[in-house]
Structure 1
Amino acid sequence: MDAPRYDRPPISLIESDIHPYGISLYVGGMEGASDLDLLKASGISTVVNCAVNLDFNYVSEPLSPAEQPIDYGYGDIRYYKLGLIDGPGNPETMFVAGYYLLRGALDQVLPERHTYPRRERGNVLVNCRGGRSRSVALTALFLHLQLPDRYPRLEDALDRVREKRELRRDEWFETPKPMLVDSIRRAARWVRMIESDRKDTAPLQAAL
């Protein structure tokens, strides 16, 4: 069950000026992710939603007919979705996918076409329902892998996110849920294997 909203701010700045992107990374819950004025005031242009049981509609320029019950079109926010369960039931590889989804949101270079109107690079919010478990886990995994000099151990990154998210010490045992911590620990090993293999095969690929 999500803790009361007054225990934490709607969004929390976790890390500033992340190399090589130069952006800031935030973590928040559903209240923060749904507050468009707050997102814009924080320079957030991209939202990565980790919750399978929560969705947002950021569409501001609908392409759907007026009578269509669901809007689709261009939104004020670039929106990425990773549908995680806050507990058991996630496939083992989902956090690997989540790491590359988050990194891909930062690495993507959108084409100069009218069908890609939101090309600005701004800060990123990672959210789930309460901003205390799924989003904390994915953000810690990203910091550990992206900034290994600063966060050499996964626990270092977890503690950073917990502290900056203002999670109470008495809830750290479940923020994130223990099975999610186990999952990101395995995901970190798998990502290192993938990245090592990519480095080993790069010279061969360049020669083809």
Structure 2
Amino acid sequence: MTSEKIKKRYPRPPISLIESNIPGWEVDIYIGGSKGVADAELLEKHNIKVVLNCAINLDINLVHFEEANTPEHLLRHGSGRVRYFKIGLIDGAGNPEAMILAGYHLMRSALDQELPEKASYKVREKGNILVNCRGGRSRSVTIVALFLHLEYPDRYPTLETAIAHIREKRELHPDEWFETPKPALIQLAERAAEMEKTLRQAGFGRTP
């Protein structure tokens, strides 16, 4: 069965709650696809204040507070309803292994970041985080699984246990598990986990 047939046969919500009130940050983690991240009302309903887009082939115009007096030749720019981060991953082979590790650190840093009290920083509330890609099935699953495994090893002792948890919460059917996430991304995530643990043992990074 092709990927498109699987998607039609096993539809899923635009966004899915993966973890609630995570220790250390006390926010919820969601995973979603392009329709979920583009739904401003849905983001507001779930108090999502941080968006991490993992897809290199998906761009989203989240500008809400547009810069005044923007020249006509410039694209729309300004501030959004959320704090927006992006790491452009390919859905499959072709990513440098460091990009997956960078995705973990970007997700964690997005949660840690403290914004100053300035008018130009319009969204300072912590709120919840949505990690998205085009379908919310592979790239976003990879990054969140790596985050859960590295941050909460007692609960997710392996990357696979984190992926299994996400598959259930994201309502990914067993017929699509062969590509949710893509095997190439799982391999890179396993390597990224090893790299992070080695850095921690050497005294760099964070030890849970």
- State whether TM-score is above 0.5: yes
Quick one: which amino acid aligns to residue 161 of structure 1?
I
Say yes or no: does 1:158 pair with 2:158: no
Change (3 A) 1:32 1:6: farther
The corresponding residue for 1:136 is: 141
3-state SS, counterpart of residue 147 of structure 2: helix
Q: Partners of 2:16 and 2:56 in 1: how far apart?
A: 21
Quick one: which amino acid aligns to residue 19 of structure 1?
P
Deviation for aligned residue 1:66: 5.8
> Which of residues 109, 115, 124 is equivalent to 1:104?
109
Deviation for aligned residue 1:74: 1.0
Q: Partners of 2:99 and 2:115 in 1: how far apart?
A: 25
> Which of residues 37, 55, 62 is equivalent to 2:59?
55
Change (3 A) 1:199 1:169: same
Residues 36-55 of structure 1 correspond to what in structure 2 (within 5 A)?
36-55=40-59
Q: Give the share of equivalent positions with the same residue, in percent.
A: 54
Residues 40-189 of structure 1 correspond to what in structure 2 (within 5 A)?
40-63=44-67, 65=70, 67-189=72-194
Which runs of at least 4 in structure 1 moved beyond 6 Å after TM superposition?
Answer: none
Q: Partners of 1:128 and 1:5 in 2: how far apart?
A: 20
Where do 5+ consecutive residues of structure 1 fail to align? 201-208
Q: Is the 8 A contact 1:5 1:130 kept in 2?
A: no
Say yes or no: does 1:7 pair with 2:16: no
Quick one: which amino acid aligns to residue 106 of structure 1?
L
Deviation for aligned residue 1:149: 1.1
Q: Is the 8 A contact 1:27 1:135 kept in 2?
A: yes
Q: TM-score, normalization: structure 2?
A: 0.92
Deviation for aligned residue 1:92: 1.1
CA RMSD of aligned residues (A): 1.6
